[in-house]
Copies of this chain bind each other. A is one copy, B any other.
Amino acid sequence: MIYLDNAATTMQKPDCVVHAVAEALTSLGNASRGAHDAALSSNRVIYRTRAALAAFFGCPDPSKVIFTNNSTEALNIAIRGTIGEGDHVITTCLEHNSVLRPLYLLQEEKGVRLDFVQADRKGCIRYEDLEDLICPDTRAIVCTHASNLTGNVLDIERIGALAKRRGLLFLLDASQTAGYFPINMEETGVSVLCFTGHKSMMGPQGTGGLCINGDIEVKPFKVGGTGVQSFLTSQPEEYPTRLEAGTLNGHGIAGLAAAVDFLTRTGIDRIRDHEANLARRFYLALRGIPEVSVYGDFETGERCPIVAMNIGRVDSAVVADELFNSYGIAVRAGAHCAPLMHKALGTTKQGAVRFSFGYFNTTEDCDAAAEAVAEIAQGGE
């Protein structure tokens, strides 16, 4: 199998991640729940991982690195914990349902007003539109760093500067970019960064989190046992306990720590170069196939290693099935949880076939995929 679905999850994890998780499964106790070696070693793993992630994302305070099960949970905490009645929120048409559905819920339950920055047929936004939507009751800009469908990247420096200038919260969905692009949330002015561990971070599923920049008050989401302040009837106020309840995924977090080590040791610039070259090579090959439409902006600046395309009007699922069944190439078809992006691209019905490259892919994978697309395009039209 040639795995080109790395934007969904990086299937192959570095060996050090596998080893770290396996070792944790025979040695970790329950963090914060005892003062013996096993519990302390779990505490140390978790604290060290908080510190490593804080350094990795430029989060000033490691105690404001909060662990969650995935990016979706982090986004629920960040969005629903900071936005409330009477607030106006600006978001974009690039968003994943993990951003959209929490916002729609706030719209319904708390009367939060939403405005969407529109995207053009290439999936690009105009930053002037974003600024134009700001009004006196705007509380936050909530957006993705990159579209999970087209791979287009938003200029978070520009958005961060705008948010800072206008006194707005800037909640960033970095699901597709954490581990791929360097992000310094303090320099960029990101208020809350939400990430997942199992995509470009190359860590285990069941890991992810949010990083909070400064004194932003985020309301508790889950409440329960914290191992400290047991006689309080409410969730303790201080971070990270305020936003974490119950036993953390210590085993997964040990793997995430190893993944951060791997990224740092290997160098994310080197990893990104490799993946970007593969995606570019694939894109250039597709451009030569007349039946193929490629979505997204390949002219302006950097992008995620994603190439979304269709062959004529063939249903994207049919193409993906053919790629897998006849060529053993694993990609993803359909809506990709990005309904507004499909509306902008005009692909609501057809969906799109998404190829996404990872560090363990080779130029052979890339060329085999391009050849397969060419063959399907010739046969299918």
Q: A35-B317, A35-B320 are in contact. Are A252 and B205 (CB under 8 A)?
A: yes
Q: Does A28 contact B (CB under 8 A)?
A: yes
In whole angstroms, how far apart are the Cα atoms of A335 and B227 in the complex? Answer: 8
Looking at the assembled complex, report how far the CB atom of A196 sits from the nearest CB atom of chain B, in whole angstroms: 7
Q: Does A143 contact B (CB under 8 A)?
A: no
Task: Type the 1/0 row for A193-236, where 1 means its CB is closer than 8 Å to any CB of B.
Answer: 00010100000111100000000000000111111001101110
Given contacts A30-B198, A105-B234, 4 further A-B contacts (CB under 8 A): A204-B249, A204-B252, A206-B252, A230-B336
Interface residues on A, range: 35 or more
In whole angstroms, how far apart are the Cα atoms of A39 and B317 in the complex? Answer: 14
In whole angstroms, how far apart are the Cα atoms of A26 and B18 in the complex? Answer: 8
Stretch at the interface among A67-75, A157-165, A178-186: A67-75
* A8 partner residues in chain B, CB cutoff 8 A: 29-30, 33-34, 39, 247
| Identical chains in the assembly | 2
Q: A5-B29, A25-B255 are in contact. Are A231 and B339 (CB under 8 A)?
A: yes
Q: Which of B33, B245, B338 contacts A101 (CB 8 A)?
A: B245
Task: Type the 1/0 row for A315-358, where 1 means its CB is closer than 8 Å to any CB of B.
Answer: 00100110010000111111111110000000010000000000
Q: Which of B13, B225, B245 contacts A25 (CB 8 A)?
A: B13
The 10 closest A-B pairs by CB, nearest first: A72-B246, A206-B249, A36-B330, A230-B335, A98-B224, A72-B224, A70-B246, A225-B337, A8-B30, A9-B30
